[in-house]
Structure 1
Amino acid sequence: MLEYVEKFEKTVYAVIMLMLMIVLVAGMFDLVSLLWKFLWEESPLLLQAKEMISLLGAFLLVLIGVELLDTIKAYFRENTIHVEIVVLLAIIAVARKVLLLDPLGLSPFEYGFEMISIGVIILGLSAGYYMIKKAGITIGPDGIKRSV
């Protein structure tokens, strides 16, 4: 019975990996079209601040997808989840949130509270990433392991 469950699990991961690759290709097309639009159509060879923020947001979204694909690929290859990749992915996602944050739509109190909250999240994720890298922890089918 466990063999069937493992085969099913591998099939689900393979389908997720295939769908993620399709999403990454679409994200790349979106990034290229945004770059083309901003560089050649809107204001030739001159990026405005909002355009730069949009481009960086699209770039980081593709980067998040690549990291997700790397996580699934590592699980396929080694049958382990690399926790440091997942935490790094969270750090990139929070960085994307900071870049796309629009202070004009918030009151000064809301904006300050959101920035402090994001800072606490970044500190926690960074500390966790540091400790995971220092300990060399990965999670596999046999539980938590420390790589030497």
Structure 2
Amino acid sequence: MPESKNWLERQLPEITANWSSLSLYRRFERVISIVLTLAIALLVLVAIFYLVANVFSLLFITTQDPFDYRLFQAVFDMVLTVLIAMEFNNSIVRTMEEEGRLGGFIHVEVVVLIAIMAVVRKFMVLEVDKLDPLHLLGLGGAILALGATYWLLKRAGSD
């Protein structure tokens, strides 16, 4: 007869898996991961609330033209910020699940992908009429460097 799992083991298997066999430091990492996950989840929930409230306000209360590009920039900025936070949170949870098999903490590939998303977000919200060419050149260089880094990481991982 299989052991009956308690509520915590059923609801959060990525947290409780192999707890007794973990070293003190691995337990510390897992607890920190849980705290970060909860904090980011709370941040995402608050951001979603403000996103919906701001979109409603922008579309129906304060704007005269719902097709104004600045409105789309503001909405995309908020959406991408939430997506970046969710991807970061997902990477923490995935790391807890993979901890026993692969070891380590956050994988560099995930950090590079999140950085690419952040730079793309920056490109989307740039004010075209107030654009400094050197600023654009710096962002372009950053995205090229991040893309090359991601390509190298994927290439090294496939060998």
Give the alignment's TM-score, normalised by structure 1. Answer: 0.80
1:24-48: CA deviation from partner (whole Å, max 9, x where unpaired): 0011111111211122212478232
Which residue is 2:91 aligned to? 71
List alignment gaps of at least 5 residues for structure 2: 1-21
Aligned partner (choices 124, 143, 151) of residue 99 of structure 1: 124
* RMSD of aligned residue pairs (Cα, Å): 2.1
Q: 1:19 aligns with which of 18, 39, 57?
A: 39
Contact 1:68 1:89 in 2 (8 A): yes
Structure that is richer in strand per residue = 1
Deviates more, 1:75-84 or 1:112-121: 75-84
1:103, distance to aligned residue in structure 2 (A): 4.9
Alpha-carbon contact 1:64-1:92 (below 8 Å) kept: yes
1:2-32 CA-to-partner distances (Å, cap 9, x unmatched) read: 8222212211110010000000001111111
Match among 120, 125, 135 for residue 156 of structure 2? 135
List gaps (5 residues or longer) in structure 1: 137-146
Cα pair 1:38 1:47 within 8 Å, conserved: no
Higher mean C-alpha displacement, 120-129 vs 4-13: 4-13
C-alpha separation between the residues in 1 aligned to 2:144 and 2:48? 30
Q: Deviations over 1:44-65 (max 9, x none)?
A: 7823221111111001100100
Alignment pair present for 1:85 and 2:110:
yes
Q: Percent identity?
A: 31
4+ aligned runs moved over 4 Å, structure 1: 103-106
